[in-house]
Amino acid sequence: MDTSTTGFIVDSLTRAIATRRLLPGTKLAEQKLADHFSVSRTLVRQALFQLAQNRLIRLEPARGAFVATPSVDEARQVFAVRRMLEVEMVRAFIAQSTPAQIKALRQHVAAEKQAMQAGDVGQRTTMLADFHVRMAELMGNEVLGELLGELISRCALITLMYQSTSAAEHSHEEHSRIVEALARRDEEAAVLLMQEHLDNVQAGLVFDRELPTSDLSMALSS
């Protein structure tokens, strides 16, 4: 019970961060979280510790927990690691892909488009991020899926802090082109498209923006 409750808190906070409802720098007060989830502060503390291990929050002695605020150097390093992982993931996916896997990716891209047309910012953000994790899941590589999930959650913080304009439509179009290259088993094109996609996301970052602020209660009530 304790583990599942802690996991639920972790998942809820991670989702709030990934969908940009909890912004960098937001203070995560233990008592507010305990009240919101109707659990003890001990369980909240366990969840915050796990999130700190995932680098989504930082724990400061005598001050408490805060949503992480990635530095410019960290932002660049995260994208560098994603390039290393995802370029090789594309190659591995092509080597083992089946028509059912391609169909599943096309369905995911269609769901991205539907979320965009509905104007659902939270769902759109989640679907665009999950595209990369979905590829790993379809390959049956749980470890890669977990690693990408953590990296992409950190990217959500980075893009929230530094992205100049919404690039959702471009990301969706790029995902669609990647899937078609995968369907053709065109490794060279798929690798190039994935590299360009990640390059484009990073190119849209502006590293001199003011840090946004947020309210914990509003974020979790959404």
> pLDDT tens, 7-64?
899 888 987 887 778 888 899 999 999 999 999 999 999 999 989 987 889 999 989 9
**Using CA atoms, how far apart are residues 102 and 108, in angstroms rounded to an integer?**
10
**Using CA atoms, how far apart are residues 11 and 177, in angstroms rounded to an integer?**
31
What order do you get walking across the sheet with 57-60 strand by strand? 27-28, 64-67, 57-60
Residue 135: closest CA among 177, 171, 173, 104? 104
Q: Which residue has the higher pLDDT, 185 or 170?
A: 185
> pLDDT tens, 181-221?
999 999 999 999 999 999 988 887 777 655 555 555 555 65
Record the tokens describing residue 24, joined without a space: 């960098």
Residue 78, pLDDT above cutoff 70: yes
Q: Which domains does the chain have, with CATH numbers?
A: 2-69 (1.10.10.10), 72-203 (1.20.120.530)
Percentage of the chain beyond pLDDT 90 is 51
pLDDT band of 179, cuts 50, 70, 90: very high
**Using CA atoms, how far apart are residues 28 and 22, in angstroms rounded to an integer?**
10
pLDDT band of 103, cuts 50, 70, 90: very high
* DSSP string covering 118-184: TT-HHHHHHHHHHHHHHHHHHTT-HHHHHHHHHHHHHHHHHHHHHB-S--HHHHHHHHHHHHHHHHT
Instruction: Say what the pTM is.
Output: 0.74
pLDDT band of 70, cuts 50, 70, 90: confident
pLDDT band of 1, cuts 50, 70, 90: very low
